[in-house]
Amino acid sequence: MEEDYWRHHSSANWLTQGDSNTAFFHAFANGQRRKCAITNLTTDSGITVDEHELQAHIYDFYRSLMGARGEPSLFLLSPSMWHTIRHVSDEENNNLMLTFSGEDMDKVLASMKTNTAPGPDGFPVFLFKSFWHLTRPLIFAIANGFALGRVDIARLNLGVLSPFPKVVSGCP
């Protein structure tokens, strides 16, 4: 019963204080960050605790794992993994490499249900349909950039798109 009491009490605190820029929110966020922080790693040279050495070690590990451009990849598939019937033909490959047309994107958006739940980005379909005339060129350029291999995928996690503020300035 005591655990239920505190669980409900914490929910009430979160509902009243947690979704604002309050001390409660910052304490909660910092607690989560400390809980998930990597404070030390055991490397070939011993235990690393310095923050810059940790960052360098993690960066080097994933860079060597995934391979940088121009370097041979550590991951290879056996040529005999798939039967030759299942290989992509040159014609199929050319069709896969076609870019998107504006009409294709318009048809896809028009065919989407407007009253569905928001996607992983948090934006509902209604928002995209309402502001399609403004967002169409940007989304079109990004989609075709992916198709043509011109989008630097490594930089995707560096940017955040926030076109609308969650709370109007000056209002709680």
Provide the pLDDT for residue 68.
57
**Exposed, middle or buried by CB within 10 Å (0-12, 13-18, 19+), for 25?**
middle
Provide the pLDDT for residue 3.
76
Domain ranges in the chain are 89-172
The CA distance from 125 to 120, in Å, is 11
Q: Tokens in use for 43?
A: 């490397």
Per residue in 44-90, pLDDT (tens digit) is 888 888 888 888 888 888 777 766 555 666 666 777 777 777 788 88
Token pair 């958006």 is at which residue? Answer: 109
pLDDT band at residue 19, thresholds of 50, 70 and 90? Answer: low
Per residue in 138-172, pLDDT (tens digit) is 888 888 888 787 877 666 655 555 454 555 555 44
Provide the pLDDT for residue 172.
46
